[in-house]
């Protein structure tokens, strides 16, 4: 196990979230992963948990409902103490992205526009069953967040270098 400072690594963009420790599965320290990032988690051999890099010694279940066991965690009680803990992976260990794919972490903080009209800034990405949603915080005081589904009708372009996402407010039922 190698120690890591997850806050510093996350701030530097070196870590990506892959889920959370869920309820125990059996007595040997295995657990369900909640909110799994299926494609990224599928090839993981080690995760960062509470600041330590830990090897995965069991990877079962299905992509949408994975079951893991981590080295050094050998009981149901140990998992219950860790329940709800975030699971992280080094970005360098993640599978390569396809064209028009992004990590949620890369979209956070991007400016959102509709053409020339400023809309807001991405606060977070929410995984939903049908598609992920961008939560866009608007600059006006008291304005509600805008939810933007990551589908081609709603999102025209994503430019990570410019940290800019162009959306179609008319499709979203919003006025520009």
Question: Residue 77: phi, psi to the nearest 5?
Answer: -65, -40
What's the pLDDT score for residue 1?
Answer: 39
For the stretch 51-85, pLDDT in tens is 899 999 999 999 889 999 999 999 999 999 999 99
6-93 maps to CATH 3.40.30.10: no
How many helices (H) and strands (E) the chain has is answered by 4, 12
Assess contact for 148 and 124: CB atoms under 8 A.
no
C-alpha 27 chain-centroid distance = 28
- pLDDT in the model for residue 123: 93
H-helix segments, 49-128: 76-82, 104-107
113 with 165: CB under 8 angstroms? yes
- Predicted confidence at residue 33, as pLDDT, reads 95
CATH code: domain 104-167 is: 2.30.30.240
What H or E segment, with its residue span, contains residue 148? strand 146-149
**Sequence ranges of the domains in the chain:** 6-93, 104-167
pLDDT at 40: 83
Q: How much is the pTM?
A: 0.71
Residues of the chain with pLDDT under 50: 1-2, 11
């Amino acid at each position: 196990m190698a120690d890591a400072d997850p806050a510093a690594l996350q701030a530097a963009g070196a870590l990506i979230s892959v889920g959370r420790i869920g309820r125990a599965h059996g007595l040997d320290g295995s657990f369900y992963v909640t909110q799994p990032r299926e494609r990224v988690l599928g090839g993981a051999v080690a995760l960062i948990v509470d600041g330590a890099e830990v090897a995965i010694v069991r990877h079962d279940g299905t992509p949408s409902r994975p079951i893991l066991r981590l080295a050094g965690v050998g009981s149901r009680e140990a998992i219950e103490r860790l329940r709800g803990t975030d699971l992280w992976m080094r970005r360098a260990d993640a599978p390569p992205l396809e064209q028009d794919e992004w990590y949620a972490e890369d979209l956070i903080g991007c400016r959102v526009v509709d053409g020339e009209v400023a809309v807001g800034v991405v606060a977070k990405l929410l995984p939903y069953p049908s598609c992920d949603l961008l939560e866009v915080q608007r600059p006006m005081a008291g304005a509600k967040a805008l939810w933007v589904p990551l589908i081609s009708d709603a999102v025209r372009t994503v430019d990570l270098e410019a940290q800019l996402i162009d959306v179609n407010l008319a499709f979203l039922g919003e006025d520009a």
